[in-house]
Structure 1
Amino acid sequence: MMKTLFLQAPSFEGFDGGAGARYQARREIKSFWYPTWLAQPAALVEGSKLVDAPPHRQSMADVLPMAKSHDLVVMHTSSPSFGSDVKVAKAMKDANPNLKVGFVGAKVAVEPDQSLASAPVLDFVARNEFDYTIKEIAEGRDFAAIDGISYRDANGKIVHNAERAMIENFDALPFVSEVYKRDLKIENYFIGYLKHPYISIYTGRGCKSRCTFCLWPQTVGGHRYRTRSPQHVAAEIAWAQKAFPQVKEFFFDDDTFTDDLPRAEAIARELGKLGVTWSCNAKANVPRETLKVLKDNGLRLLLVGYESGNQKILHNIKKGMLVDVAKKFTKDCHELGIAIHGTFILGLPGETKETIEETIKFATQINPHTIQVSLAAPYPGTHLYKQALENGWLDIANAELVDEHGVQMAPLHYPHLSHSEIYHSVEDFYKRFYFRAGKIGSIVGEMVRSPDMMKRRLREGVEFFQFLRERKNQQLAG
């Protein structure tokens, strides 16, 4: 077995490029997702080490010496971080010319030719679902015999091996939480709407929804929801309870944990026996009777992608969601005492000044506990990216997804709506949602009841106002 380093490389200050991140960027409030997509193959490779540099504040000076003590480095990359990641890979290869370096992630899965051609330092890229692919590479097998990779042969020609079959038996995979325990400091992972410290894992991969913008199902996970058994999930949570007694919340990061309602209820009942607090991703169509089962068995919060309050935009992006259904679902959650972190996207196809206003009003009306407002990001490999190129919504001058500081940009524009109008609507959205008497009152009440929440909200407030100030400075500079 090759001595293998799994690396989330140093990047922009505060950059959340972890493979659990839906958008690789600096946040308005600093947050870090677990590098679960790297932890899973790391669990398969005996003697490996996982290094997640950004949340552990590790610099190139910290990471570079590891090149000499390893035979293989596997780095997770993304469209926003690719250029920076290639520089790290080159520095490590310069330090150890015998080192094998490969990239994984959606970027290289959909652009293997371009990725290898633009980065001669790379020995290979692993496409699609890469867990067992990396295990076979670490075992020292000949590249020609490994499904799911693209690499250069002895003549320098780029070769694409056959696709690897998707994983079907997820219960056969080892627990990622064991790698967290071995290699990560969990207190360094922080998400504003989750209790701290938290742990995030997957109970399955794939999403049957066809949202045109969503990265993972269209590039790596697929549209078939392949899952672990409720008993296997409960066994990992029970193990993690003992390994991490300080954990206050478990989060299930499946694209849509509620895609399979009977299974979601079965997992909830297992978690209820363990007495844990947990949260998950959900679509805004879960029936009240299922919500009650989940709540009665420890569910605290749902992360819900509303995206827009305009029905036509939801149709345009193939969300498969009706605004009225989302309203009823949200009302049910409020009545049952389930908190919601609602996510919204501005700049999707069909967006106008009027639809932005409609979405802001929708958000304030349904009133989730907290929100995240992102800019439509046409990642390569998504239908949105293809649409943007075909319709001229994406031009080369604004094609980057983040700026030089790692802050998310507005890459799309329309004849009736400019980049800057979309970009600056984010600030307006946040201000109008949070700077309301009722919302301010609920946040203050939360702080008064909990000293820990007082410290958290004050820190987040400082970061949020700093975020707004940076955006204002960028506007003045532009």
Structure 2
Amino acid sequence: MKVSFVRARYPSVWEPTNLMYVSAFVKDRYKGNLDVQILDGFFDSDEQILNKISGSDYVGFSGTTPQVPHIKQLSKLVKKEYPSMKTIVGGYGPSLQPFTFLNDPTIDYLVVGEGEQSMLDILNGTATQKLVSNQPIMDVDSIPNPDRDSIDLNRYISIAEKDEGRRVTSIMTERGCAFGCTFCAEGEFGTIWRKADLSNKKLEYERAVRLRQRSAKLVVEEMLEVRDRFNITFFKMNDAETNPSKPHFIRLCKEMIEQEVNVPWGCNMRCDKVDDEMCALAVKAHCEEFWMGLESGSPEIHRDINKGTTVEMIKKAFDVSKKYGIKRRTYALLGTPLESYETIKQTEELIDYVDPEIIGFSILAPYPGTAYWKPEYDELDWSQIDEFSNTTWSSNNLTNQELRREQSRLIEKYSDKLAPIIRKKQKLGIGGSQTLDSMMGAM
């Protein structure tokens, strides 16, 4: 049996870890012969994808909300070219906009939630309905490491090497998120890590499994194997946050020290959980970068977005990590409902205080699953909307044009600290002055 997985097109790219995990799982559990390949719309044109999937029994598409239109476009092309080929969609976008696909005749199966067991059910012929959904696998250590054999990983590594001068790849230490940020589907919706059933033309979700953590020993063993195989010089932890709890982060650092990984790495960190002990161990474990969401300098906005952090927590986290020489990257989120010129001024003051080495500015995108989603947003062309190129969203006090003007002003003010993705998109026209499609054409 031949299976092709395709990550839909998006103008920035990291390896599709979710598809790599699904591929590894089905290759490990499927009893028959299985030939798997993983393709990416970032590198491959639609015509190339159609040629490469020729002879496949199944083709599975995955993506987030901005990639949904391309998934639908690909499924139509596949059914026209290969009518007997079974099409499958999954990932964050399809899981959070299920009826977009349930009502699409070019889609044979919709996977909602975690993909491993559902994909295996489809291949085994035990999936009896179009909607396929399973309980998350509680023992994440039982899931094989991502399939790095069925994908050309060097295509991704070479981009980082060109842009950053280092060979970067991703490692996941956990699945899900334990926190409740209103601007994120992981927080407000409770993650896609849950089973769903169709009842009376409505989707009913079981309670979410918020967070599952991998064994530190297995994480580090994977790092060592990938380091040696691909000559990796920097690891990016692909977690919502790598310190959801202090013990998890401490275990990872101690294991890296014991097994002598000796490769620099960076990770998302919650500001409320950064302290001297964690920073000291992080440095010994060769962690060189903390990526910490500042979001806003307004105490009122911090309460409103339900992240659980305060301005004082942010200041403390940046102060202590600076003391240990850790490079600090931060994100500022413009446009939450209470945003005004005054709150943006507070954000500037906080940025100036914490003085991060790297910063990025985005505008809130009301993605499905967030607190800001509305049913009528289904009609938007999400291929032209993301948090960097957003001509849609306004706050209670500022229009979209005013938000984009402030975003551009801040980008100019902090131009010497810009995150790489902002630098790249600035060259192409940031803040909605170019569409995502035109960005892709210029890259």
Q: TM-score, normalised by structure 2?
A: 0.84
What is the alpha-carbon distance in structure 1 between the residues aligned to residue 377 and residue 209 of structure 2? 29
Question: Which residue, 61, 64, 68 being the options, matches 2:54?
Answer: 68
- Match for residue 115 of structure 1? 101
How far has the Cα of 1:227 moved from its partner? 1.0
Question: Which residue, 180, 184, 193 being the options, matches 1:210?
Answer: 180
- Match for residue 297 of structure 1? 285
Contact 1:376-1:410 within 8 A present in 2 as well:
no
What is the alpha-carbon distance in structure 2 between the residues aligned to residue 235 and residue 194 of structure 1? 25
CA deviations over 1:55-111 (Å, ceiling 9, x no partner): xx3112211112322110111133222122211111122221110011111222133
| Aligned-partner residue type, residue 323 of structure 2 | E
How far has the Cα of 1:189 moved from its partner? 4.2
What is the alpha-carbon distance in structure 2 between the residues aligned to residue 460 and residue 166 of structure 1? 35
- Report whether the alignment pairs 1:317 with 2:309: no
Identical counterparts, % of pairs: 22
How far has the Cα of 1:464 moved from its partner? 5.6
Contact 1:76-1:104 within 8 A present in 2 as well:
yes
- Report whether the alignment pairs 1:220 with 2:196: no
C-alpha spacing 1:211/1:96, structure 2 compared with 1 (3 Å): same
What is the alpha-carbon distance in structure 2 between the residues aligned to residue 418 and residue 460 of structure 1? 22
- Match for residue 428 of structure 2? 467
| Aligned-partner residue type, residue 313 of structure 2 | V
- Match for residue 416 of structure 1? 397
Question: Which residue, 200, 205, 210 being the options, matches 2:170?
Answer: 200
How far has the Cα of 1:229 moved from its partner? 0.4
| Aligned-partner residue type, residue 51 of structure 2 | P
Contact 2:389-2:432 within 8 A present in 1 as well:
no
What is the alpha-carbon distance in structure 1 between the residues aligned to residue 142 and residue 242 of structure 2? 20
Q: Which runs of 4+ in 1 moved over 6 A?
A: 191-194, 394-397, 404-407
How far has the Cα of 1:308 moved from its partner? 1.0
How far has the Cα of 1:415 moved from its partner? 4.4
Contact 1:78-1:107 within 8 A present in 2 as well:
yes
CA deviations over 1:293-350 (Å, ceiling 9, x no partner): 1111110101111111111111111010011111011011111001111011110121
Contact 1:203-1:252 within 8 A present in 2 as well:
yes
- Report whether the alignment pairs 1:143 with 2:127: yes
Question: Which residue, 326, 332, 351 being the options, matches 2:339?
Answer: 351
- Match for residue 89 of structure 2? 103
How far has the Cα of 1:198 moved from its partner? 0.4
What is the alpha-carbon distance in structure 2 between the residues aligned to residue 376 and residue 406 of structure 1? 6
- Equivalences for 1:18-37 in 2 at 5 Å? 32-37=13-18
> 3-state DSSP class of the match of 1:48?
strand
What is the alpha-carbon distance in structure 2 between the residues aligned to residue 280 and residue 227 of structure 1? 15
Kindly report the root-mean-square deviation, in angstroms, between the aligned alpha carbons of the 2 structures: 2.9
What is the alpha-carbon distance in structure 1 between the residues aligned to residue 39 and residue 325 of structure 2? 38
How far has the Cα of 1:376 moved from its partner? 0.3
Paired residues, number: 409
What is the alpha-carbon distance in structure 2 between the residues aligned to residue 353 and residue 406 of structure 1? 19
What is the alpha-carbon distance in structure 2 between the residues aligned to residue 280 and residue 473 of structure 1? 30
- Match for residue 157 of structure 1? none
What is the alpha-carbon distance in structure 1 between the residues aligned to residue 166 and residue 143 of structure 2? 27
Q: TM-score, normalised by structure 1?
A: 0.78
What is the alpha-carbon distance in structure 1 between the residues aligned to residue 348 and residue 154 of structure 2? 38
> 3-state DSSP class of the match of 1:167?
coil
Question: Which residue, 253, 262, 267 being the options, matches 1:280?
Answer: 267
> 3-state DSSP class of the match of 2:372?
helix
C-alpha spacing 1:174/1:428, structure 2 compared with 1 (3 Å): same
- Match for residue 42 of structure 1? 23
C-alpha spacing 1:228/1:195, structure 2 compared with 1 (3 Å): farther
- Report whether the alignment pairs 1:326 with 2:314: yes
How far has the Cα of 1:428 moved from its partner? 0.9
| Aligned-partner residue type, residue 126 of structure 2 | D
